Structure 1
Amino acid sequence: MLAIDFQHVTKRFPGVVALNDVSFNVRKGEFHSICGENGAGKSTLMKILSGVLTDYEGDFFVNGTKTGFTGTRDAESVGISIIHQELNLVEELSVAANIFLGRELRHSFFLNEAAMFAESQTLFDQLECEIHPRQNVSELRVGDQQLVEIAKALSLKSDILIMDEPTSALTETEVERLFRVIEMLRNEGVTILYISHKMEEVFRLSDRITILRDGQHVKTLNREETTPQEVTHLMVGREIELIRLGKGRQATEPVLEVSNLSLLWPGHARGWKLKDVSFTLRKGEVVGIAGLMGAGRTELLECIFGASEDLPEGRILLNGEVVNFRHPSEAKEAGIAMVTEDRKRLGLFQQMSVRENITICTLPDSVSTGIVHSRTEAAAAKKSIDELGVKTATAETAITSLSGGNQQKCIIARWLRTQPEVLLLDDPTRGVDVGAKAELYQVIDNLCKDGLAIIVTSSELPELITLCDRILVLCEGHLTGELAKKDFSEERIMELATKLAD
């Protein structure tokens, strides 16, 4: 029996056909992966199925019944829920309040907060994660916020569960926990539609795989009858060249020196987020920061960029001079740029266009006698769009209409326009497809060859191994090891990531 049957679904946005006559089906109880580059139409199709988008052409059937939703409540009423790639949480509310937002549990006329806290805790126990239901969402890192979104979807006990890049912000340990939950749901007969750029996940879990490209249905294949190489080729419509990075790089003089950097953690039993971290970054090299969630990867970059809430202890030298940045603007002026891991909350100006998002940090370059010269600004934006291969109808397109990967390219382009000496990339390819990743890897490699010093964090160990000249490993705020390229291995990195310093 079919759980879902899409028939000739088309969705148009101004200047863009996001979906073009898409038809395929999903069987009841199967794990069905949907693959495609950013902008292929995957998330758009899932938003139609979950009632987020209601204006489209064509039809779809749920359990054999022709269906049309006026909103997400309609979808939930027939057993469909979605875990969005972009987080949709209310930061001012508690974790439990977010999970039950719009369907709060009540006792007579009053909210039954005890019941909501208890059910939330049960969900987090199921996910094997340590998140307190009473904690405010604003206090959580993006990885924990992703787990809250997953718990929220699980609380609906849906028959059809859509997962849009659910592991993009999770560590490998958290991914394994999620996979155990997925296996449990499959045993209970839940139909799962899974969007992911990670081929190892797709081929580990799928019954069938559907490929979309440029808004069109390319092919639906049984997992055992295809390969990751074939799926990747169908996704991009071309062969992706084997990436060979590092040849021609030459690390020169130190540009950034960090000595005994510590960051306090008031009120926490551990007392600190970082403890006595020391390292050197040279021009013309890429240094990776590895570690499990909570190891201090993001906090380390924030301290360097002047973005931590509390001032760190220790010493930071930039080109041999001591710096104490109290605000990111000071770091920017000194030649440091940072691309944050939380694209939606900390990276995008959501009310602005693609052009404005790219040029906002370098707008004075387009100003003369107090007036912004629109042609100069537009030319600068177009150059960045072309260099990074941003898929957008025009530079005036709303940034929110772009896919997550293309939004990330715009943020990277923005900071590259500041011509930094040090570039901090916090999980830069989260939610970026395999083709775009290859392009970003090449951009990073070229920047490094030009003498830029780069620090990159990632929850994907193969990514760090591919990109980096050295890898520093953190565990609970301690620097537990430094690996040269010849010593890279996932096993060694994980060993250091789970072993506290002596």
Structure 2
Amino acid sequence: MTELIRPPAPEGQPEPVVEMTDISISFPGVKALDEVSFRMFPGEVHSLMGENGAGKSTLIKALTGVYQIDSGQIRLSGQPVSFATTAQAQAAGISTVYQEVNLLPNLSVAENIMLGREPRRFGGIDYRRMRARAREVLDELGLEVDPGSLLGSHSLAVQQLIAIARATNVDARVLILDEPTSSLDADEVAELFRIIRSLKDSGVAILFVSHFLDQVYEIADRLTVFRNGRLVGEYLTPDLLRIDLVQKMIGKEIATLDDLEARVHDADTDAADSTVFLRARGIGRKGAVAPVDVTIHEGEVVGFAGLLGSGRTEVARLLGGVDRADSGSLTVKGETMRLRTPRRAISERIMYSSENRRGEGIVDELTVRDNIILALQADRGWFRPIPKKRQDELAQSYIDALNIRPGNADAVVRNLSGGNQQKVLLARWLAVAPRLLILDEPTRGIDVGAKAEIQKLVFSLAENGMAVVYISAELEEVLRLSHRVIVMRDRQKVADLVNEDLSVDSLMALIAEGSGDEETENVGEAR
């Protein structure tokens, strides 16, 4: 292996509390980690960075006993360890707090903090001592919460802090925080960071996993970057520019960030007379995405660019009626309305195709025919079934038009390739004759041929007047298809650009740094 060049250990801490060396883990057909190394020092906040599929979650699960490693070594305070369960890892001082709070809202704060470790007296739980100990833990973190109060009566942010209190009540040497700020507002993030700094000062090593670059650069002392299951490098946070971090995560060379204003254009004059189909003003959802303005014209492909977790999917779900906005207004063809459900959006011919193809898209135990007619039948009403002959005609027409293989309407969808499953999903939405089609990562995980066919279809749909929102992690793909590109960063819109002289470099620079320029907002408004 090539010798790994690392920044120096913190002064006075020559030995890592965690050191993982040449770790490899394989699953059927996939090498999730390929001889990666990772280390953490006491009293440091360390961020693990990488895009979806980079190997971050796999590494954490290897450290915490969820996965067994195929090769390599894990050392804790210099001693080799091998954890068969998460309980063993926790007993050794490694605690994890996940994005979804996995506590019991029907129990008290004290019961949650001490769950499984309750003090006993005369064969029963000593509730007085339990509440006293919970109070001590809360005081150590500076949290003014009544230990006897019901956990479910508190906000999600407070519950997250209680989860951290529970995790530190085991003499934790290592605390892993997996996307802890994903549902928190700015004040709640500030309170979390206060506690993180307090734990850091007490000597705890903290692994902070987040997609939000601003937060990473505010709290992290050290960064380790993964890409495609391999280690890219370890860096001291002040030594790595944000634009360089994005380049290392994505694996693309980026030009320096010079004169961004020159890349931000007014609306394309050739499209000045195009009709606005949808206009969103200040549409947002607390804990998901900051209020954003979006204008989409008929026959226009609007691309969304940004890192995973930037807010691109969250905006798409609001526009598609999957999630409810708690701020702003929305007009469709000039009529103000609220899209409270996907069915309401479908009635306006707005279709959202989820990035989670298996979880929220195809129904894999049904046939190709059943999947294609699903949305149309839902729009029509379940008490008015589509005649079998009409189902067959619809299914076969889309099988032929989209080149779905095998070309058998009775084939079970789970037996199709990923690319053909995606085509079936597209056929479902096209069958309802959408006026706005929102495609979230429609080409992820499919072969090159199927990807080209889907891109060609998007072109054709726009040429025939359909509005399309196109989201992809592949910036080249966004640029290839889009008339206009909206750039998201840390759950906020940072730019809205006509795709004229745009490049991957300029998009990645915006993703890394943001624009800081109000005039980059809403360039589509001039249309």
**TM-score bracket, shorter-length normalisation:** 0.5 to 0.7
Matches within 5 A, 1:99-248: 99-100=112-113, 103=116, 105=118, 108=121, 109-110=124-125, 112=127, 115=131, 119=135, 122=138, 126=142, 134=150, 136=152, 149-240=163-254
Match of 2:16 in 1: 2
Question: In structure 2, what is the Cα distance between the partners aligned to 1:132 and 1:335?
Answer: 50
User: Residues 20, 443 of structure 1: CA spacing in aligned structure 2 closer, same or farther, 3 A cutoff?
Assistant: closer
Identity within the alignment, %:
25
Match of 1:28 in 2: 42
Q: What is the Cα deviation at residue 488 of structure 1?
A: 5.9
Q: Deviations over 1:150-209 (max 9, x none)?
A: 454345451111223333333333322222222111111111223334444444444433
Match of 2:491 in 1: 460
User: Residues 31, 124 of structure 1: CA spacing in aligned structure 2 closer, same or farther, 3 A cutoff?
Assistant: closer
Q: Is the 8 A contact 1:2 1:26 kept in 2?
A: yes
Q: What is the Cα deviation at residue 239 of structure 1?
A: 1.5
Q: TM-score, normalised by structure 2?
A: 0.57
Match of 1:405 in 2: none
What secondary structure, in the 3-state scheme, does the structure 2 residue paired with 1:176 have? helix
The match for 1:363 among 360, 372, 382 is 372
Match of 1:273 in 2: none
Q: What is the Cα deviation at residue 254 of structure 1?
A: 4.2
Q: Is 1:11 paired with 2:11? A: no
Q: What is the Cα deviation at residue 47 of structure 1?
A: 1.3
Question: In structure 1, what is the Cα distance between the partners aligned to 2:63 and 2:363?
Answer: 27
Match of 2:59 in 1: 45
Question: In structure 1, what is the Cα distance between the partners aligned to 2:114 and 2:360?
Answer: 25
Question: In structure 2, what is the Cα distance between the partners aligned to 1:27 and 1:306?
Answer: 42
Q: Is the 8 A contact 1:8 1:22 kept in 2?
A: yes
Q: Is the 8 A contact 1:84 1:164 kept in 2?
A: yes
Q: What is the Cα deviation at residue 424 of structure 1?
A: 9.4
What letter is aligned with 2:277?
A: V
What letter is aligned with 1:390?
A: R
Question: In structure 2, what is the Cα distance between the partners aligned to 1:360 and 1:245?
Answer: 45
Q: TM-score, normalised by structure 1?
A: 0.59
User: Residues 140, 14 of structure 1: CA spacing in aligned structure 2 closer, same or farther, 3 A cutoff?
Assistant: farther
What secondary structure, in the 3-state scheme, does the structure 2 residue paired with 1:103 have? coil
Match of 1:305 in 2: 321
Q: Is the 8 A contact 1:35 1:196 kept in 2?
A: yes
What secondary structure, in the 3-state scheme, does the structure 2 residue paired with 1:161 have? strand
Match of 1:66 in 2: 80
Question: In structure 1, what is the Cα distance between the partners aligned to 2:141 and 2:31?
Answer: 42
Q: Is the 8 A contact 2:19 2:40 kept in 1?
A: yes
Question: In structure 2, what is the Cα distance between the partners aligned to 1:322 and 1:59?
Answer: 60
Match of 2:483 in 1: 449
Question: In structure 1, what is the Cα distance between the partners aligned to 2:443 and 2:104?
Answer: 33
What secondary structure, in the 3-state scheme, does the structure 2 residue paired with 1:170 have? coil
User: Residues 424, 364 of structure 1: CA spacing in aligned structure 2 closer, same or farther, 3 A cutoff?
Assistant: same
Q: What is the Cα deviation at residue 355 of structure 1?
A: 7.8
Q: Deviations over 1:382-413 (max 9, x none)?
A: 6699975635899xxxxxxxxxxxxxxxxxx9
- Segment of structure 1 superposing worse, 5-14 or 53-62: 53-62
RMSD of Structure 2 on Structure 1 (CA) = 5.9
Question: In structure 2, what is the Cα distance between the partners aligned to 1:304 and 1:231?
Answer: 32
Match of 1:500 in 2: none
User: Residues 199, 376 of structure 1: CA spacing in aligned structure 2 closer, same or farther, 3 A cutoff?
Assistant: closer
What letter is aligned with 2:275?
A: E
What secondary structure, in the 3-state scheme, does the structure 1 residue paired with 2:195 have? helix
User: Residues 285, 188 of structure 1: CA spacing in aligned structure 2 closer, same or farther, 3 A cutoff?
Assistant: same
What secondary structure, in the 3-state scheme, does the structure 1 residue paired with 2:207 have? strand
Question: Would you say how many aligned residue pairs link Structure 1 and Structure 2?
Answer: 406
User: Residues 285, 364 of structure 1: CA spacing in aligned structure 2 closer, same or farther, 3 A cutoff?
Assistant: closer
Question: In structure 1, what is the Cα distance between the partners aligned to 2:168 and 2:352?
Answer: 34
Question: In structure 2, what is the Cα distance between the partners aligned to 1:322 and 1:198?
Answer: 33
Question: In structure 2, what is the Cα distance between the partners aligned to 1:354 and 1:233?
Answer: 37
Matches within 5 A, 1:226-305: 226-240=240-254, 252-256=274-278, 283=297, 305=321
Q: Is the 8 A contact 1:302 1:308 kept in 2?
A: yes
Match of 2:444 in 1: 390
Q: What is the Cα deviation at residue 446 of structure 1?
A: 7.5
User: Residues 354, 171 of structure 1: CA spacing in aligned structure 2 closer, same or farther, 3 A cutoff?
Assistant: farther
- Segment of structure 1 superposing worse, 317-326 or 64-73: 317-326
What letter is aligned with 1:364?
A: I
Q: Is the 8 A contact 1:47 1:53 kept in 2?
A: yes
What letter is aligned with 2:204?
A: V
Match of 1:480 in 2: none
Question: In structure 1, what is the Cα distance between the partners aligned to 2:422 and 2:206?
Answer: 39
5+ long unaligned stretches in structure 1: 262-276, 289-297, 395-412, 429-435, 470-483, 490-502
Q: Is the 8 A contact 2:40 2:46 kept in 1?
A: yes
What secondary structure, in the 3-state scheme, does the structure 1 residue paired with 2:494 have? helix
Match of 2:519 in 1: 486
Q: Is the 8 A contact 2:280 2:330 kept in 1?
A: yes
User: Residues 17, 257 of structure 1: CA spacing in aligned structure 2 closer, same or farther, 3 A cutoff?
Assistant: closer
5+ long unaligned stretches in structure 2: 1-14, 284-290, 305-313, 375-393, 397-407, 427-438, 449-454, 499-516, 523-527
Match of 2:4 in 1: none
Q: Is the 8 A contact 1:338 1:423 kept in 2?
A: no
Q: What is the Cα deviation at residue 16 of structure 1?
A: 0.7
Q: Which of 1 and 2 has greater Rg?
A: 2
What secondary structure, in the 3-state scheme, does the structure 2 residue paired with 1:371 have? coil
Q: What is the Cα deviation at residue 102 of structure 1?
A: 5.0
Question: In structure 1, what is the Cα distance between the partners aligned to 2:50 and 2:362?
Answer: 25
Match of 1:473 in 2: none
Q: Is the 8 A contact 1:337 1:423 kept in 2?
A: no
